[in-house]
Amino acid sequence: MAKSALLLGASGLVGGHCLKRLLDDTAYDKVTALVRKPLALHHAKLEQQVVDFSRLQNYAPLVKAHDVFCCLGTTIKKAGSQAAFRQVDFTYPFETAKIAAANGAEQFLIVTSLGANPASRIFYNRVKGEVEAAIAPLAFRAVHIFRPSLLLGERQEFRLGEKLAERVTKIFSFLFVGPLRKYRPIKASVVAAAMIAVAKRNLAGNNIFESDQIQALGSAR
């Protein structure tokens, strides 16, 4: 039986690839994208819902699907402050997860980051770890957490720091072997492929996938 999917972050790097794959996948007959503004995309399976993420409770009946894919994320620079960053990377995913769980969603899949840890001294990693910890106990059959390394792909906005890091890591990629393999940069398209592959496995419980595991899952034929 075909399932329904709910996607957050459809206009982002991983979310954009995730949306395309979900629309092409016969395992899903309906894909709902929660967006701040309409996407320039039309598809028979796609239903776009324009929402105010700061008032998600007002849209609770829309936050309903078998599988929820959360690809929301920003940077402190783009958000403008640590508080604004936390709102996008913690509050929005957590509030969505709570509503989705209450509405009977079976799986919640979220992209966080390599190094996510609620005890980290690094603000970015700490927030990513906190959202993982907050969502894990919710009443889903399964919560899948994806911790990619540096993401490769064409973003809508230019990020100098990421471009420099991408060049450096490509030059020294031969050093990322063994336990360091998870630090290799990874294509956003591979992360999206891994998320959908995991969703179709019907696993249970809380599962964390580090970047090297994501690479293997998203590259498998």
The per-residue pLDDT string of the chain (221 residues; one tens digit each, 9 = 90 and over) reads 789 999 999 999 999 999 999 999 999 999 999 999 999 999 999 999 999 999 999 999 999 999 999 999 988 888 899 999 999 999 999 999 999 999 999 999 999 999 999 999 999 999 999 999 999 999 999 999 999 998 996 645 545 454 554 554 555 555 555 555 666 889 999 999 999 999 999 899 999 999 999 999 998 75
The pLDDT assigned to 167 comes to 58
pLDDT at 158: 46
Task: Indicate the CATH number for domain 3-219.
Answer: 3.40.50.720
First to last CA, the chain: 23
3-8, strands of its sheet edge to edge: 46-50, 28-35, 3-8, 67-70, 107-111, 142-147, 205-210
Which residues on neighbouring strands pair with residue 146, listed in sequence order? 111, 209
Segment holding 3, helix H or strand E? strand 3-8
pTM: 0.88
Sign of the Cα pseudo-torsion (80, 72, 87, 210, in order): negative
Catalytic residues: 124, 128
For residue 139, the model assigns a pLDDT of: 95
